[in-house]
Chains A and B, each alone.
Chain A
């Protein structure tokens, strides 16, 4: 235990400053985002619920990294929660498969308004390489309305984080 503590002290804070993140290209954002961010005190405290609607888990690996000491998503008031009922943001990855369509719809339905949907990764944004397959419904916006799109296959943690922050900034303006 002492060596662990010594290491914690020796390492100190290793969180990346936000200025090193790339500038994202978000594309269009709708009225819903602005209304939601406006209602929720400028999005200073937002809860995220993630649904994997059929991705290859690449996005999940990258998103898990958001919680680590390097990216530290919590410092921006963003945190992951265990139930869609607690969430303000629904992040969805992967093209929506037919099996996950119901799960995605219920998760969205259960979220209390105001709510924001973020499509993470090429699969969720366009359908990616699975587009047109008989097993998938298609991109997320065929199932539920999408507010923010973060492309990439998979997007790097820095891209995801910068995308989320840019969306909040846009909502405030």
Chain B
């Protein structure tokens, strides 16, 4: 039963991923006093891309062609091992936080290799920057999750979520709320959002993630766009569920609980998308060469969360 719930949790995320992107775009449009595109548009975009042919630079090798599959594989694997709608359904080894970090790094490595294989300076620059960010994000990532793990008493994300769900509210646990702030920093960096990267930029020199995608077209572009949507949904869903651990699908499960869980996840994703759009509408993008400040801040916030967790443990 829990096995099916785990699969279901992953499938829900895979299905909802384009919707999350639609939510973010809609919220951003409203912040700009625009009407904005319908939320279901990303589905149509992906399907349209799937119907196009592929034009590929003749200077690229098999790595360029294979990279989208591995990037998407990493995102799909994340969708299945990171708990979002359901809690208490994965065994400890399956959602170990270091495994989550490793799988995420696996995807960004192949993305960067795809960018390097395009023989274009834009992709190369994006790859170099992406790998720099990937190197810097690791300490904050592991430190933030370790703080949560100390609160939850387990090293699996699923276990942490289960623990937080058993408390009245995670905002009542100061360590968890500070660690969650650090995880918001990490989420923004991992998903190439403001203030680390500008997902809507048309100026190649300000790009990180988009620059690596410039040479992809048609179905392979669709795979990559979908992969980044899935990754965004996974991270937003995780952070939202950790901060609002309500209406989670937990065994023993009922039909009502299942429906409520899915609806609650959609609501949480919409809320997270709103917050993301709020951040992107009120903050400015930082210069790339100031990124060490951003990551130091993220690391220190995570460390503060860790300290609080340790202090509350010794009490």
The chain A residues found within 8 Å of chain B, CB to CB, are 1, 4-5, 8, 11-15, 39-41, 44-47, 68-69, 72, 74-77, 79-83, 85-86, 88, 109-114
B:264-301 near A, CB below 8 Å? 281-282
Q: Name the A residues within 8 Å of B139 (CB-CB).
A: none
Indicate whether B201 reaches chain A with its CB closer than 8 angstroms. yes
Q: Name the A residues within 8 Å of B48 (CB-CB).
A: 40-41, 44-46, 88
- Let me know if A15 and B217 touch, CB within 8 A: no
Count residues of B near A (Cβ-Cβ below 8 Å): 35
- Let me know if B217 and A82 touch, CB within 8 A: no
Q: Name the A residues within 8 Å of B282 (CB-CB).
A: 1, 4-5
Known interface pairs A5-B282, A45-B45, A75-B37; A113-B214 also in contact (CB < 8 Å): no
Indicate whether B173 reaches chain A with its CB closer than 8 angstroms. no
Indicate whether B216 reaches chain A with its CB closer than 8 angstroms. yes
Q: Closest residue to A50 on the B side, CB-wise? A: B202
Known interface pairs A74-B34, A77-B37; A83-B215 also in contact (CB < 8 Å): yes
Interface residues of chain A: helix, strand, loop or mixed (majority): loop
Could you list 13 A-B pairs, sorted by A, with CB under 8 Å?
A13-B33, A45-B45, A68-B34, A69-B33, A74-B37, A75-B36, A75-B37, A77-B41, A80-B202, A81-B202, A85-B215, A112-B217, A113-B52
- Let me know if A82 and B210 touch, CB within 8 A: yes
The chain B residues found within 8 Å of chain A, CB to CB, are 25, 29-38, 41, 44-45, 47-48, 51-55, 201-202, 204, 207, 210, 213-218, 221, 281-282
Give the top 8 A-B pairs by smallest Cβ distance, nearest first.
A85-B217, A83-B214, A45-B44, A45-B45, A15-B35, A72-B34, A69-B33, A112-B52
Known interface pairs A44-B44, A85-B221; A72-B36 also in contact (CB < 8 Å): yes
- Let me know if B33 and A112 touch, CB within 8 A: no
CB distance from A117 to the nearest CB of B (A): 15
Q: Give the distance in Å from the alpha carbon of A120 to the alpha carbon of B147 in the complex.
A: 57
CB distance from B275 to the nearest CB of A (A): 14
Q: Give the distance in Å from the alpha carbon of A109 to the alpha carbon of B201 in the complex.
A: 23
Known interface pairs A77-B44, A82-B210, A88-B48; A112-B36 also in contact (CB < 8 Å): no
Q: Give the distance in Å from the alpha carbon of A80 to the alpha carbon of B208 in the complex.
A: 18
Q: Closest residue to A42 on the B side, CB-wise? A: B44
- Let me know if A86 and B217 touch, CB within 8 A: yes
Known interface pairs A4-B282, A82-B202, A88-B48; A11-B214 also in contact (CB < 8 Å): no
Q: Closest residue to A5 on the B side, CB-wise? A: B282
CB distance from A109 to the nearest CB of B (A): 8
- Let me know if A13 and B35 touch, CB within 8 A: yes
A72-B35, A81-B202 are known contacts; what are 17 more A-B pairs with Cβ within 8 Å?
A: A13-B33, A39-B51, A40-B52, A41-B47, A41-B48, A44-B44, A75-B29, A77-B44, A82-B202, A82-B204, A86-B221, A88-B48, A112-B53, A112-B55, A113-B52, A114-B51, A114-B52
Partner of A69, one of B32, B47, B52, B210: B32
Q: Give the distance in Å from the alpha carbon of A4 to the alpha carbon of B33 in the complex.
A: 12
Q: Give the distance in Å from the alpha carbon of A46 to the alpha carbon of B44 in the complex.
A: 9
Q: Name the A residues within 8 Å of B52 (CB-CB).
A: 40, 88, 112-114
- Let me know if B33 and A74 touch, CB within 8 A: no
Q: Name the B residues within 8 Å of A88 (CB-CB).
A: 48, 52
Q: Name the B residues within 8 Å of A72 (CB-CB).
A: 29, 34-36
Partner of A45, one of B32, B41, B54, B215: B41
Q: Closest residue to B33 on the A side, CB-wise? A: A69
Partner of A82, one of B45, B55, B201, B281: B201
Q: Give the distance in Å from the alpha carbon of A5 to the alpha carbon of B278 in the complex.
A: 10
Q: Closest residue to A10 on the B side, CB-wise? A: B33
Q: Name the B residues within 8 Å of A111 (CB-CB).
A: 55
Q: Name the B residues within 8 Å of A12 (CB-CB).
A: 33
Q: Closest residue to A76 on the B side, CB-wise? A: B37
Q: Name the B residues within 8 Å of A75 (CB-CB).
A: 29, 34-38
Q: Closest residue to B32 on the A side, CB-wise? A: A69
Q: Give the distance in Å from the alpha carbon of A1 to the alpha carbon of B32 in the complex.
A: 14
Q: Closest residue to B219 on the A side, CB-wise? A: A112
Q: Name the A residues within 8 Å of B38 (CB-CB).
A: 75, 77
Q: Give the distance in Å from the alpha carbon of A142 to the alpha carbon of B22 in the complex.
A: 39
Partner of B55, one of A13, A14, A85: A85
Q: Give the distance in Å from the alpha carbon of A69 to the alpha carbon of B30 in the complex.
A: 9
